[in-house]
Chains A and B, each alone.
Chain A
């Protein structure tokens, strides 16, 4: 269908549209028109992605003179492929209506690990080793050597691609990563470098958050994107954490030991070069004297990760004299590593501001702030000079230099926290020096500044007024949309009391109360006997889960549960968890039924969907507050209070509730689906907690479901499940239209009552 939103003709590849998709597009267009940023919350299952893609591409098509580019950021490769698949459908629809004038180029970009087609290279396991293996074949000096010596191996795909030069282009269309690989194989070109090259010209680029938020990667990949771009962060409810992580570095004992090894290898290399090719080192020195820290136009294959500091904060001056000579630089680094090793010896938790930390480095080992600041660039230059290709071996020293550069660059918004062991496991020594960023707005600021529209969207962004404060920006549009449903297919409940009518909670003082543990157990037991197929449980932490499952085991409740359904448990081990999930799904498929125990903030809570029969019920045991004694969290809270006037309690509640909403949101992935959500903690009945849940959950949370005991919840569950099993009409009755056709839209528009339809 196609329809008008003001002057823009929107092409939408389906015959019908949900009203909320329509209003989402209207709001989005307002933001684009105003060339401002937007914050939009819309529940999953409502076709957010297609609405976004549809509007933005149609918007570009309506502005042929200066079409804005779309940079679409996803969290995972899987989401990237899904997005591109939707876009392909949209694109072919647009082409079918408009002909070739609707042609555009859209592609996904990921690391070599996902794009390389050289069989000898992709077979290595990790991302870094694929990168290094590729570099070994394609670095400029390797290729130069290969010219003379045919025995030196290069990558034929890169050579072919190089040969064609700027002729190597992708014809317009939509390319998923898989498509790129197919295309690459067909032509014999390297898909990775082709994609890297094409992003500049593409109309739509889909890639991961890091390509914009992590300065190390962004400076290489996204440097040349034009200002007239629309940036979309999808599933962005945790974007503040991504920003913080992009600027945080942890240094452990292994890092330091690795760094020492790296340093001695580099020293050997230097000696070797001194003996064979002393001119190289001298040339480097001269270049540094001339103030060329970053060597401008490097061949594309030589670029490594870039400076960890934000672009505006990178000094454009000459490298300080005392680290220009390679040996001097190495000895400085050696002393720095030594210093950090010393700090790791501590028995106590230490927290320090960056100013004090830098001062202490200076007094102890004589490295000043400016030298620290140049560590990264100096290292990069040295590695190129030494022609090091196995970059995966040098990650340790690189981490140290990242750390040093950040420490030297920033004074506010960071702190150094040294912990001799993990607070929760005090008997296992695991000393770590953490450079913690507390300010999420730092990493995202360049993005807001550089691009004309940034859209942050997710199923859970509540309370929606907090994100602008955390990220320090002014959205021109911020809106939370509800879900229009033909039937009430989600059933949230707040369970405050157990079967004995006593309150349940994971509050610190009640946590280990045997009564609460028993009540939670009985709740699960009753529920597994009335809910078919899959049930998912979320606990507030691993240690809490271990504890409660243990006591259920001792009291025999677990055995009773297992009579009804098989039990699977998430562990910190990814492989184990994947296996457990697989078996869980199988048990749901074959009718045996299963329960999955997992942890809020874990892998499962963020990325795994429990749609349809894989999750008919999700129980959130307790409120998933962060571990409040963590030093990092405390430091961040302090910073938030001082800088943004966000109260500790507010932030903690917000953060807990968004995690809870993420967990329970796992069960509804489309409108045809149905599922129940139980918030099992008396604290959820309090207004200040509950009101922070997203609107689409709140609107289904009836007053009568706010203060339930186990037996009441069981009755509601039975009735709900029976009702949902009845056949229903997906289009919605005439009274409650949830699907609009082109005609409906046109009628509404002429009647001028379009706003009424919207929320």
Chain B
């Protein structure tokens, strides 16, 4: 009883508004088993509303509510340091449980597909980072690809090896990854992202020790589960500061994975600004034949030349195999920039507020020009930028914060300012 009490008093009061929709969406119409039988039929996504009419299940509101909770949970309005150089291992569970078919066609296939998307997104957002792949099956963990900066080679390796069998062992996976990650330079962020299908782990030793080891080495472990919450995973994530989430369905899985794409906040202890030497290699001239230092193969054209030792590498970003210089391209660096200057969180405008001040509310979203009113002309939920006071719909809110990284309102204000001045 004590527990519940403790939690209770900590309850967040300011999260009141967005749960109403969540309740609605959760109270969904069909029974679980009926839904499972209904498969991929379009009527699956219908539900009865209060008046008994059928309407599509409104997942949008749920997603938005979750998204807002997520961004609010990190104090992103304050400028926080981000770890821009990440060393991430993706651990894919290919134990027997991965062959289950509650995701169509199978968990394994769905995971592979989404990991692929994730890898691309990851390098897009973290051009200075590297990742590697690890599989767990038959009670052991094996390294599929070592840390590297090339999305394609990872994806190729991933797709080649999709078979599942045996038990999963979380401890073995962590031990393996720990072995690799403890060698990476200290300015880098050590991370593990585990995609876990199984509901248990068969370990050779005491996993708690392994978890403490990871914690000590500042390895941030996150888990995306495919079936249900497992205590040990939760414990692992809590201890190491990672995220633990469970996928409801495929689209949710994708979303959960993509949450891990933007750089995490820097670990305080390593956040002291440090200078890192980097090289910006030039693209080699077309048609020149040379032996690359990374694959030790002769290559025709393409590739880059290390500015310090003139060795040839195939892809960026990477570390020069000869002199060890970090090699990046300048657009990569530029793309990391926005993480350092996140745009302010938009504030929510509740319908009650809008009904009071009807006249001040524009009918359309400043971003996409869609109507801000719900069907039936009821005012819906939308957001406003606190700087430029423009109104946006929920979709634009997510798009602006997750992809665009610029507020259209503020940008246009900046452009139009001289005009206003001139008019005065």
Residue in chain B with minimal CB distance to A712? B33
Q: Which residues of A contact B235 (CB under 8 A)?
A: 589
> B232–A591 contact, CB under 8 A?
yes
Chain B, 26-41, contact with A by CB distance < 8 Å: what is the 0/1 string?
Answer: 1000011111100000
Which A residues are CB-close (under 8 A) to B403?
A: none
Residues from chain B with a CB closer than 8 A to the CB of A612 are: 231
Determine if B200 and A564 form an interchain contact, defined as CB atoms under 8 angstroms apart.
Answer: yes
Chain A residue at minimum C-beta to C-beta distance from B208: A590
Partner of A591, one of B15, B22, B170, B248: B170
Contact A530 B199 (CB under 8 A): yes
Determine which of B1, B200, B207 lies in contact with A45 in the assembled complex, contact meaning CB atoms within 8 Å. Answer: B1
Residues in B157-215 with C-beta less than 8 Å from chain A: 170, 199-203, 206-208
Q: Are B225 and A730 in contact (CB under 8 A)?
A: no
Pick out which of these stretches binds chain A: B4-12, B46-54, B286-294: B4-12
Per-residue CB contact flags for chain B residues 221-232 toward chain A (1 = under 8 Å, else 0) read 000010111111
Contact B7 A47 (CB under 8 A): no
Interface residues of A in 541-589 (CB under 8 A from B): 564-565, 588-589
Q: Which of B16, B199, B207 contacts A734 (CB 8 A)?
A: B16
Is A723 a contact of B26 with CB atoms below 8 Å? yes
Closest chain-B Cβ to A495's Cβ sits at a distance in Å of 12
B231–A722 CB distance below 8 A: no
- A591-B207 contact, Cβ under 8 Å, with A730-B11, A733-B20, A735-B23: yes
* Residues in A neighbouring B203, C-beta threshold 8 A: 590-592
Residues of B contacting A723 in the complex (Cβ-Cβ under 8 angstroms): 26, 248
Closest to B1 in A: A47
With contacts A530-B228, A726-B246, A734-B20 taken as known, whether A593 is within 8 angstroms of B199 at the C-beta atoms is yes
B246-A715 in contact (CB<8A): no
Q: Within the assembled complex, what's the spacing in Å between the Cα atoms of A124 and B115?
A: 63
Contact with B along A716-743 (1 / 0, CB 8 A): 1011111111111111111110010000
Q: Which of A14, A588, A721, A733 contacts B227 (CB 8 A)?
A: A721
Contact check, B3 vs A672: say whether CB atoms are below 8 A apart.
Answer: yes
Contacts of B22 in A (CB 8 A): 728-729, 733
Q: A479 contacts the other chain (Cβ, under 8 Å)?
A: no
Beta-carbon contact of A533 and B23 below 8 Å: no
B13 at the interface (CB under 8 A from A): yes
Shortest Cβ gap from A230 to chain B (Å):
20
Q: Which residues of A contact B202 (CB under 8 A)?
A: 592
- Output the least CB separation between A586 and chain B (Å): 10
Cα distance A613–B200 when bound, in Å? 12
The answer to whether B32 and A721 touch across the interface, beta carbons within 8 angstroms, is no
| Interface pair B4/A45, CB less than 8 Å apart | yes
Q: Is the beta-carbon distance between B17 and A734 smaller than 8 angstroms? A: yes
B233 within 8 A of A: yes
Q: In the complex, are the beta carbons of B4 and A731 less than 8 A apart?
A: no
> B63 → chain A, closest Cβ, in Å?
12
B-contact 0/1 string along A237-250, CB 8 Å cutoff: 00000000000000
A733 to B201, CA, bound (A): 36
Is there an interface contact between A725 and B15, defined as CB atoms closer than 8 Å? no
In chain A, what residue has the closest Cβ to B16? Answer: A734
B19 interface residue (CB < 8 Å to A): yes
| A492 touches B (CB below 8 Å) | no
Across the two chains, which residue of chain A brings its CB closest to B27?
A488
Query: Min CB distance, B135 to chain A, in Å?
Result: 18
- B402 contacts across to A, CB distance below 8 A: none
Judge whether A731 and B16 touch: CB under 8 Å: yes
Query: Is residue A670 contacting chain B, with contact meaning CB distance below 8 A?
Result: yes
The answer to whether the Cβ of B142 comes within 8 Å of any Cβ in the partner chain is no
Q: Is the CB of B33 within 8 A of A487?
A: no
Judging by beta carbons under 8 Å apart, are A14 and B9 in contact?
yes
A533 pairs with B231, CB closer than 8 A: yes
Q: Is the CB of A85 within 8 A of B2?
A: yes
B231 to A591, Cβ gap below 8 A? Answer: yes
Bound form: Cα–Cα A589–B211 in Å: 13
Tell whether, in the assembled complex, residue B248 and residue A593 are in contact, meaning their CB atoms are under 8 Å apart: no
The proximity string for A residues 76-94 relative to B, scoring 1 for CB distances below 8 Å and 0 otherwise, is 0000001001100000000
Report yes or no: B200 in contact with A726, Cβ–Cβ below 8 A: no
Which residues in chain A, 521-551, are within 8 Å of chain B measured between CB atoms?
529-533
A50 interface contact, C-beta 8 A: yes
Residues in B whose Cβ lies below 8 Å from that of A298? none
Whether A49 sits at the interface, judged by CB under 8 Å, is yes
Q: Is A469 an interface residue (CB 8 A)?
A: no
The CA-CA distance from A418 to B246 in the complex, in Å, is: 60
Known: A16-B8, A532-B199, A532-B200. A86 touches B228 (CB 8 A): no
Q: Which residue of A lies closest to B102 (CB)?
A: A718
Residues of B within 8 A of A565 (CB): 200
B199, B203, B207, B227 — most chain A CB neighbours (10 Å): B199
CB nearest to B199 among chain A residues: A532
Output the least CB separation between B233 and chain A (Å).
7
A47 touches B23 (CB 8 A): no
Complex partner residue of A589 from B20, B36, B232, CB under 8 angstroms: B232
Is B2's CB under 8 angstroms from A532's CB?
no
How far apart sit A588 and B201, CA to CA, in the bound complex (Å)?
A: 10
A124 to B227, CA, bound (A): 51
In the assembled complex, which residues on chain A have CB atoms less than 8 Å from the CB atom of B15?
Answer: 729, 731
Say yes or no: is A275 at the interface (Cβ < 8 Å to chain B).
Answer: no
- C-alpha spacing A725/B9, complex, angstroms: 22
- Assess whether B2 is in contact with A735, with CB atoms less than 8 Å apart: no
| In contact, B20 and A726 (Cβ under 8 angstroms) | no
By a CB distance below 8 angstroms, the chain B residues around A733 are: 16, 19-20, 22-23
Check B66 for interface membership: any CB of A closer than 8 A: yes
In-complex Cβ contact of A47 among B4, B13, B20, B245 (8 A)? B4
Residues 220-264 of B, flagged 1 when their CB comes within 8 A of A and 0 if not, give 000001011111110100000000011110000000000000000
Task: Determine whether A15 belongs to the interface, using a CB cutoff of 8 Å to chain B.
Answer: yes
CB neighbours (8 Å) of B156 from chain A are none
CB pair B5–A704 under 8 Å, yes or no, is: no
Per the 8 Å Cβ criterion, residues 32-55 of A in contact with B are 44-45, 47, 49-50
Complex Cα gap A724–B221 (Å): 22
Q: Please name all residues of chain B whose beta carbon is closer than 8 Å to the beta carbon of A631 when the two chains form the complex.
A: none
Instruction: Select which of A590, A719, A726, A734 is within 8 A of B32 by beta carbon.
Output: A719
Complex Cα distance A86/B246, Å?
Answer: 35
A716 to B32, CA, bound (A): 5
Within 8 A of B (CB), among A693-713: 702, 704, 708, 711-713
Residues of B within 8 A of A721 (CB): 227-229
Least CB distance from B389 to A in Å reads: 26
A445 in the interface (beta carbon within 8 A): no
Supposing A16-B8, A723-B248 touch, asked if A530 and B227 sit within 8 A by C-beta, the answer is yes
Complex CA distance for A659 and B274, rounded to whole angstroms: 65
Q: Are B2 and A86 in contact (CB under 8 A)?
A: yes
B79 within 8 Å of A (CB atoms): no
B241 to chain A, nearest CB (A): 16
Choice from B2, B207, B231 contacting A588 with Cβ under 8 Å: B231
Residues on A with beta carbons closer than 8 Å to the beta carbon of B20:
733-735
Is A591 touching B4 in the complex (CB atoms < 8 A)?
no
B231 touches A613 (CB 8 A): yes
Residue of B nearest to A528 (CB): B199
B23:A736 contact, CB within 8 angstroms = yes
**Cβ-defined contact, B200 with A591, below 8 A:** yes
A727 touches B66 (CB 8 A): yes
Is A671 interfacial (CB-CB < 8 Å)?
A: yes
Which of B1, B23, B248 contacts A722, CB < 8 Å? Answer: B248
- Can you add 11 more A-B contacts, CB < 8 Å, to A14-B9, A725-B229, A731-B11? A45-B4, A82-B2, A531-B199, A532-B199, A589-B232, A590-B232, A591-B200, A593-B199, A612-B231, A721-B228, A731-B16
10 A-B interface contacts by CB (under 8 A): A15-B8, A16-B11, A49-B1, A82-B2, A532-B200, A565-B200, A731-B16, A733-B22, A735-B20, A739-B11
B-contacting residues of A (Cβ < 8 Å)? 14-16, 44-45, 47, 49-50, 82, 85-86, 487, 529-533, 564-565, 588-593, 612-613, 616, 669-672, 702, 704, 708, 711-713, 715-716, 718-736, 739
Q: Which 8 A-B pairs have the closest CB atoms?
A: A591-B232, A733-B19, A721-B228, A725-B246, A719-B32, A670-B4, A613-B231, A731-B11
